[in-house]
Amino acid sequence: MPEMSKEERNKTLARRYYAELMSGGDLSFVDKYMAPEFEFSNPTHVDPYKGQEFKNLVTMLRGAFPDVKFTVEHLLAQGDTVVGHWTARGTHTGKPLETLKGDIPAKGNPFVIDGMSWLRFNDEGKFVEARINEDTLGLLLQIGAIPDCAPASRTSSSPSSARSRRATRPPRAGSSRGPTTGRSSGCPRLVTASKTRAWISSFSRVARSPRSG
């Protein structure tokens, strides 16, 4: 039987990372397969997570989303790096999601997002780095962390008439946009880009140490 190539070995470990750690919550995976210098980072994180900080992050996320499951869609390996495209789905039925803006209580809302991970390994086959990019905004919207931005009708209690007016409202003078439609018509005024960035940043900066009690 031919010996497994380094790339195939790393792809096998990457699949186990998604199945055993991120979906199964088995923290012993960190001790067995991650080098002491391992770092986990995300574009919205100020600093990478290391050691116990990374374990705390996994525990917090799985505590908020007890049924979270990561499905690998594509894996590509070259040299010491494995790039993975994955889908994560779950339901916010557990503990509050911890953020610097305060805890987001569970509302029982399901979510489905996708993301990419760049996993790097050393010569011994241990993880030394994980860089991810995920649909954080989509997650926040789906679990209800960002307020609903659909404007309510001021002149009629009829949902159908309100929808009709929103769907046909013409653009303001001088605007290059076409008529606004549906739910998105109120979003630019109620959820600005700066607010969105603040929400994403606060979500990403979860507590880096276990809470007492």
Mean pLDDT of 71-84: 98
Interval 112-171: pLDDT, tens: 999 999 999 999 999 999 999 999 899 999 999 987 665 555 544 455 544 444 444 444
Are 21 and 77 part of one and the same domain?
yes
Whole-angstrom CA distances from 101 to 19, 65, 92, 138, 202 are: 31, 19, 18, 18, 6
Residue 197 lies in a domain: no
Are 30 and 129 part of one and the same domain?
yes
Are 14 and 63 part of one and the same domain?
yes
pLDDT value of position 186 = 44
Are 134 and 184 part of one and the same domain?
no
Q: Is the pLDDT of residue 51 over 90?
A: yes
Q: Which domain holds residue 128?
A: 6-147
Bigger pLDDT: 62 or 189? 62
* Number of domains comprising the chain: 2
Q: Is the pLDDT of residue 29 over 70?
A: yes
pLDDT value of position 196 = 52
Are 143 and 165 part of one and the same domain?
no
Q: Is the pLDDT of residue 109 over 80?
A: yes
Residue ending a domain, choose from 125, 147, 169:
147
Domain containing 119 — which CATH number? 3.10.450.50
Are 90 and 20 part of one and the same domain?
yes
pLDDT value of position 102 = 78
pTM, entire model: 0.72
Are 113 and 179 part of one and the same domain?
no
Q: What percentage of the chain carries pLDDT values higher than 90?
A: 61
Are 125 and 22 part of one and the same domain?
yes
Question: Rounded distance, CA 145 to CA 104, Å?
Answer: 7
CB 27 within 8 A of CB 59: yes
Question: Rounded distance, CA 35 to CA 51, Å?
Answer: 9
Interval 183-212: pLDDT, tens: 444 454 444 555 555 555 555 554 455 444
Are 141 and 96 part of one and the same domain?
yes
Q: What percentage of the chain carries pLDDT values higher than 70?
A: 68
Q: Is the pLDDT of residue 182 over 60?
A: no
Mean of per-residue pLDDT scores for the chain? 80
Question: Rounded distance, CA 92 to CA 139, Å?
Answer: 10
